[in-house]
């Protein structure tokens, strides 16, 4: 039993801290071979369930699972999500992470020496060969293939008293997340304090994931960062910690600046994953990934 899911080490990949996860169970169903046809079908069906207005007609075609995304056919391609013209070049691309995700605050387990070796090797591999995912699937899904297109899809909204630019499709969900957080603040002084201590709220930002050639979900405006003002001695983001601590991944949750559980739960209840669960932790980061919830059989609410 391992806490860290090394199969998909990357800034947008999971660390599964909860005890029930295994080192190889990167996808769903648990125990399925990540490269199997079964998993390919499960991922494509999860996408169709998460985006029924955009992703349709999941089928097995030309030896792979395919789906129609806003009129364009995409193949699973070992998790690379490629249109037909790119499938011959699939080895040039890194797979997208479709990881095991468990709602709620994970349980910390001290990494063993064996874990440490595996993590160091995986981090070295990532540094040696930066991730390069094809963006075409999400570009087509979110209709935002260029910076100008992406900017045309974002709108300004108020979130916990700040203005933030986000993809138009998640405004209602974020409003409901905010409502849930404000409701929790009435009962929880910790949530109230966390809101009062918020510094910046950042949504849309056209950029790559640090140290990779893959675009961040901030580029679509479907990710939001909530950065506290006073961080004390707590660690927030793996990259900042890595500047002075080579074993940044070994910092236990108790020494990280995690949002209150109620805040994580509010986001998760509307299909947002929390970056604090990744091995490459990003405790300020939430990202709209309803396909991850659908894939893991986790209920979430929609605004529509």
DSSP 8-state code for residue 219: G
Which residue, 34 or 275, has its beta carbon nearer to Zn ion?
275
Between CA 56 and CA 67 the distance in angstroms is 6
Q: State both tokens at 174.
A: 């974020």
Q: Are 95 and 26 in contact (CB under 8 A)?
A: no
Residue 192 Cβ vs Zn ion, minimum distance, rounded to whole Å: 24
Q: Where are the alpha helices (DSSP H) in 143-250?
A: 147-153, 171-187, 189-196, 238-242
Q: Which of residues 217-246 bind Zn ion (CB under 5 A)?
A: 223, 225
Residue 78 Cβ vs Zn ion, minimum distance, rounded to whole Å: 26
Between CA 17 and CA 277 the distance in angstroms is 7
Q: Are 279 and 263 in contact (CB under 8 A)?
A: no
**Which range, of 137-145, 172-180, 249-257, 281-289, touches Zn ion by CB under 5 A?**
281-289
Q: State both tokens at 64.
A: 């792979």
DSSP 8-state code for residue 228: E
Q: State both tokens at 137.
A: 């699937």
Tell me the three state secondary structure of residue 16.
coil
Interface residue with Zn ion, options 2, 133, 167, 285 (CB under 5 A) = 285
Which residue, 2 or 285, has its beta carbon nearer to Zn ion?
285
Between CA 219 and CA 138 the distance in angstroms is 11
Residue 292 Cβ vs Zn ion, minimum distance, rounded to whole Å: 16
Residue 242 Cβ vs Zn ion, minimum distance, rounded to whole Å: 16
Residue 224 Cβ vs Zn ion, minimum distance, rounded to whole Å: 7
Which residue, 133 or 285, has its beta carbon nearer to Zn ion?
285
Q: Are 16 and 100 in contact (CB under 8 A)?
A: yes
Which residue, 64 or 235, has its beta carbon nearer to Zn ion?
235
**Which range, of 125-133, 215-223, 235-243, 254-262, touches Zn ion by CB under 5 A?**
215-223
Which residue, 277 or 285, has its beta carbon nearer to Zn ion?
285
Interface with Zn ion, residue 277, by CB under 5 A = no
Q: If residue 189 lies in a helix (H) or strand (E), which one and from where to where?
A: helix 189-196
Number of residues in contact with Zn ion, rule: CB under 5 A? 3
For Zn ion, the nearest residue by Cβ is 285
Tell me the three state secondary structure of residue 158.
strand
Q: Which residues bind Zn ion (CB under 5 A)?
A: 223, 225, 285
């Amino acid at each position: 039993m391992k806490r860290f899911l090394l199969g998909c080490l990357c800034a947008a990949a999971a660390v599964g801290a909860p005890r029930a996860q295994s080192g190889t169970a990167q996808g769903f169903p648990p125990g399925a071979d990540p490269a199997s046809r079964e998993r390919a079908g499960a991922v494509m069906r999860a996408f169709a369930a998460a985006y029924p207005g955009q992703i349709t007609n999941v089928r097995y075609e030309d030896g792979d699972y395919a789906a129609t995304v806003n009129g364009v056919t995409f193949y699973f391609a070992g998790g690379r999500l490629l249109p037909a013209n790119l499938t011959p070049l699939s080895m040039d691309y890194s797979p997208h992470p479709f990881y095991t995700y468990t709602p709620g605050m994970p349980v910390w387990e001290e990494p063993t020496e064996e874990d440490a070796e595996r993590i160091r090797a995986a981090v070295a591999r990532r540094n040696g060969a930066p991730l390069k995912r094809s963006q075409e699937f999400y570009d087509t899904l979110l209709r935002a293939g260029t910076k100008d297109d992406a900017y045309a899809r974002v709108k300004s909204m108020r979130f916990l008293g700040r203005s933030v630019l986000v993809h138009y499709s998640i405004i209602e969900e974020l409003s409901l997340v905010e409502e849930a957080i404000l409701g929790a603040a009435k009962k929880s002084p910790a949530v109230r304090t966390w809101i009062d201590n918020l510094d910046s709220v950042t949504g849309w930002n056209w950029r790559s994931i640090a140290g990779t050639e893959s675009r961040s979900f901030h580029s679509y405006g479907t990710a939001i960062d909530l950065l506290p003002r006073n961080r004390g001695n707590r660690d927030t983001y793996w990259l900042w910690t890595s500047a002075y601590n080579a074993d940044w991944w070994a910092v236990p949750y108790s020494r990280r600046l995690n949002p209150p559980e109620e805040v994580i739960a509010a986001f998760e209840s509307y299909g947002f994953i929390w970056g604090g669960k990744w091995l490459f932790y990003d405790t300020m980061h939430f990202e709209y990934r309803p396909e991850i919830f659908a894939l893991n059989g986790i209920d979430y609410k929609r605004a529509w």
